[in-house]
Structure 1
Amino acid sequence: MSDRSHHWADIGESTSVRGILLLCFVHRWLGRWPFRVCVYPVVFVHWLLNGTARRASRQYLARVHAHLGVPARRPGALQSLYHFAVFAETLLDKILALGQRYPVDKVTMERQGVLARVRAGEGGLLVTAHLGCLELCQVMADQVPGFRLTALVHTAHAERFNRLIRRLDAGSKVELLQVTDLGPADAVKLAERVARGEFVAIAGDRVPVRGGRSVKAPFLGHEAPFPIGAYVLGAALRCPVFTMACTHVGDGYRVRFESFAERIELPRGSRDEALARYAAQFAAWMERQVRDSPYDWFNFYPFWDQVTHDARHE
């Protein structure tokens, strides 16, 4: 495996907006099973040909099994293929959620502290992971007046998917904002949004595309790099921080918000130690999520072996 493949952004994203729209059309007019008939052969071919993603899936499943005892059986090729199939189904649910067509009665919301802040017109920071269908927070946006969310993403496809979101739902209260290197100017803009009572979401499980630092934290029995951007941003925004996950429960989902920190504090004399503690706290939170729903974590790249962009150019 080349050094270049050790960063998730270098693997590339093969998701096609046209393909997504076609699958949405199949689901809308023919239903879920015809959708599966169309998508499962694609999933199998992708699993077969994408060795990097397949190996990453099997490594993750083996480690979650060894460390947490889930899934109950020792994972093999079939479990990895099922992991890919769950991702494909979740991709459909993401689009349905953004288009306000996912059944609301299949979503359970646990909103500790977040709802009170929305009603008070106060914003906050949400630290997320690539767990399940986070777009179902759109259900909360529909149910709770005043809830607006800006999700920070590192891919170059943010505007393309914003157009897709607007096409599916012109009134969507969820916006994707591309950030390759979160700087002071970005922090100021985001602070203005939080001051207006909006929420900002940032992933805590992917190292930056360019710049930024990461720290090591134990995850599923092995040290892994975690980005510090969420905690640096939280310290700059000086607002309450919550975690957000949305994982499968039965034939639906549970959206769960939990308090992470009332304030992120990074003391000048012990900044590195504080960042490491926050990263370890987040990694422990991730372990709790995957224990409940092991097939809902979608990082199909060598997670434990990833390096930052800058480290590859030293």
Structure 2
Amino acid sequence: MSNLNQQPGSQHWAMQGERGSFWLMKFTAALLRLLGRRLLSPLLYAIVIYFFLFGRKARHSIAEYQRNLAAWSGRAELLPSRRSVFRQFMAFADSLLDKLDVWHGKLPLAEIRLLDPTDLRSQLHQGGRGQLLVCGHLGNLEVSRALAELGEQVRMNVLVHTKHAAQFNRLLGEAGASHLQLIQVSELDPGIMLQLSERLERGEWLAIAGDRVPLQGGRNVTVDFLGRPAAFPQGPWLLAGLLRCPVNLLSCLKIDGRYQLQLEPFAASVHWSRPERDAVIRQWVQRYAERLGQHCLSAPTQWFNFYPFWKCNERDEQNVGTPGKRSTGV
């Protein structure tokens, strides 16, 4: 919940937000053991309502996302209102409760609808070289990550920017997640690349977010997302090219009260010569941004980036709740 209240010009989200995420996870895990989900739910919803009421920047950021999605798709019903912004906050609270269920074994794979038209799931068990999964902060990442635990029993390595990876791993172990490992990657240095290559050779899979720019100084590229320029990380596509591994997309959206996990092939290979590297990576990032936008339309209130994603000028909050007002910054 930490990135709900970040101010422009403050610490990068990976320095500030993930610290709060660690303490939130520790806090909620303790409360769950003490109270159980039934008693914890009202408290968690109250916390999210507090952030909705006092998190002005977070409200603006969600309203901006909804406005851009409506303009890009031509669907006026997606334009932001106070009610629609509040629904997105509450969807976030609901996802937090579901995360707790995942790590305590109360959301088995049988209750998750798997969409895998090319049978990528079978490749998890073939014993060959691992692959790269790119996911985003749309839907419930924990359900996606739990694919490694819920019946698949494959080693999944999640690449993160948080400095608290060791503490997160300890908490995940306490929750029973034995096949999930968080690996902190601020820079793609030779040591990290060698470690990741060895994991792929052992048949392990790598997962990385494709919609969060790395720590300041990291590589990113600006592409069109929902009709406006936004920064996306180059990391997933640099990794795919350097490690010479296929790239698949992983998403998990809650549709009609049931999670729908989708695996889809995206790039059989990413390769370039040095002079064309930047152009090739930009093309792949743009393709990913377009696919992410399409997924946003499937679950519009499940976008959980609560900070100024487009880094545009702040809008007056009176625009939130003004029907028919479209974004002019296309």
Residue 148 of structure 1, aligned match among 151, 155, 171: 155
Residue 168 of structure 1, aligned match among 172, 175, 179: 175
1:97 shift after superposition: 1.5
Aligned to 1:215, the other structure's residue is in SS state strand
In the alignment, structure 1 residue 265 sits paired with structure 2 residue 271: yes
Aligned to 2:33, the other structure's residue is in SS state helix
Contact 1:4–1:10, Cα closer than 8 Å, also in 2: no
Closer, same or farther in 2 for the Cα pair 1:156/1:77, shift >3 Å? farther
Match in the other structure for 2:327: none
| Length, aligned pairs only | 301
1:259 shift after superposition: 0.6
Counterparts of 1:98 and 1:71 in 2: how far apart (Å)?
38
In the alignment, structure 1 residue 278 sits paired with structure 2 residue 284: yes
Closer, same or farther in 2 for the Cα pair 1:70/1:12, shift >3 Å? same
1:296 shift after superposition: 1.3
In the alignment, structure 1 residue 36 sits paired with structure 2 residue 41: yes
Counterparts of 2:124 and 2:64 in 1: how far apart (Å)?
40
The gaps in structure 1 that reach 5 residues or longer are 307-314
Residue 27 of structure 2, aligned match among 8, 19, 25: 19
Counterparts of 2:112 and 2:264 in 1: how far apart (Å)?
17
Counterparts of 1:142 and 1:26 in 2: how far apart (Å)?
25
Contact 1:151–1:174, Cα closer than 8 Å, also in 2: yes
Closer, same or farther in 2 for the Cα pair 1:114/1:221, shift >3 Å? same
1:121 shift after superposition: 1.1
Aligned to 1:302, the other structure's residue is in SS state coil
Name which of structure 1's ranges 159-168 and 99-108 shifts more when overlaid on structure 2: 99-108
1:185 shift after superposition: 1.3
Aligned to 1:247, the other structure's residue is in SS state strand
Match in the other structure for 1:85: 90
| TM-score between both structures, scaled by the size of structure 1 | 0.88
Contact 1:99–1:165, Cα closer than 8 Å, also in 2: no
Counterparts of 2:301 and 2:164 in 1: how far apart (Å)?
25
User: What does 1:219-258 align with in structure 2 at a 5 Å threshold?
Assistant: 219-258=225-264
Match in the other structure for 1:127: 134
Counterparts of 1:53 and 1:188 in 2: how far apart (Å)?
38
Aligned to 2:157, the other structure's residue is in SS state strand
Identity of aligned residues (%): 33
Counterparts of 2:64 and 2:243 in 1: how far apart (Å)?
36
1:188 shift after superposition: 1.0
The gaps in structure 2 that reach 5 residues or longer are 1-5, 313-330
User: What does 1:63-212 align with in structure 2 at a 5 Å threshold?
Assistant: 63-69=68-74, 72-111=77-116, 112-122=118-128, 123-137=130-144, 138-139=146-147, 141-145=149-153, 147-169=154-176, 171-212=177-218
